[in-house]
Structures are given as C-alpha cells and as structure tokens.
Chains A and B, each alone.
Chain A
C-alpha cells in the first residue's frame, strides 16, 4: 500500500482481556518495527522483524507480549491478560531493508485498558 496501515485505530478493552493489533507495512518493505509510545515520551522499541523472523525482540516488556509476521508482510502484535499499564499508542513502522534506513510510521493504534 501507499503507507503503513494499522488497525484498529482505537481499542478500549477490559483489564485481563486479549488484544490483537494489526500492521500492514509499505509494499516491498522487508523490515517491520513495533514501538510503544506513552504520553510525553519517545517511541519505545518493542520488536523488529526482518522478513518473517524477529531480528530483535529485546524490547518486549514481558511474556504477555508476542508478535508474528508469518508471511513477511502483515504483522500482528498480541497482548495477553492486558493490564492498565499497557495503555499507550502502539506504533508500527516499516523500512525498505532494515539496514538502519529510514523508517515510516503508521498512524498508530491507541489502546486503552480499563
């Protein structure tokens, strides 16, 4: 597509529920990133895919967070047993080849856990 697309744009869920956030990167981009941004903070790295594999998942805060990219294009970030502290904007970004090049962000998914 023309840009990085993320769905849903907004999600309100109850504490303890399971959530999936989807990212459709720019067509042809092999690298895909997930970041989390809280109000007044910079984007916090979560995970980075090169193709289908997670090249670096060191930013995932705990085992409730998991991400997949089975066909090397669309990615899904999965959060189990959501907690109020998970409330944030989840940003997806993609880049052409992941060699430290410019990354292009989607609009983000605003997650609120109540």
Chain B
C-alpha cells in the first residue's frame, strides 16, 4: 500500500539555525500537504502544493514539491522557539483518495 516516509525522525537545533525535513512517498501524489502539530495538540494545516516542482514560501518557511510528485521538503530559516513541534507531510494518491500522513519530524530547539 501507499507509504509516506519522513527524515529525519528527530532534529534538535540551536535557535537561529536552519531546519529541513524531507518527505518521500512510495507512489505519485495528487498534491502534498504539510501540517504542524504542537506537543499535546492536533495537526494544523500549513500549506498545500499541487504542481510538479512547485515552491511556496510562508515567511521563514519554504516548501517544495518534487518534479516527480513523490517527494517534498520543508525548510525553516533561522528557527525560533515557536517553531517547536512535529511536522507532517501528507497527500492523496489521487483526488478523492484517502490522505496518508508521513511519520513526521519532531523539531526541538535550544534557546
């Protein structure tokens, strides 16, 4: 079945350092979505990318969708303590398919 993997599983950085998480799907995705989950909270939608090779930015966050629509990355520039949490990628194989979540990357930050 469809699998979505993320690396690394954990990342511990000094505040101000950059952070990147990578997402790889075993199948082509219709779109890729990114969510952030704070400790004790629920996943909250960040962004959706649809087109092959698409790049979107939200302030210090840069999201990229691979050319083959099977991988994606999230890069955070100059991390802040508010960035702490677990970042999940997710996507459907096709429109109207179930949305499968990746295993997540947990980001912790040293002030």
Contacts and interface: CB of A to CB of B under 8 A. Distances in A.
Interface of A: 33, 35, 40-45, 48, 50, 55-56, 58-59, 91, 98-108
21 contacts: A35-B101, A42-B6, A42-B88, A42-B101, A42-B103, A42-B104, A43-B90, A45-B99, A45-B101, A50-B96, A91-B43, A100-B91, A100-B92, A100-B95, A100-B97, A102-B33, A103-B99, A104-B45, A105-B44, A106-B42, A107-B42
Given A43-B43, A43-B88, A98 B96 contact: yes
A58 B98 contact: yes
Interface of B: 1, 6, 30-31, 33, 41-45, 48, 88, 90-92, 94-104, 106
Contacts of A99: 95-96
A77 to B, nearest CB: 16
Contacts of B91: 100
A105 B6 CA distance: 21
A59 B98 contact: yes
A78 B33 CA distance: 29
Contacts of A91: 42-43
Contacts of B95: 99-100
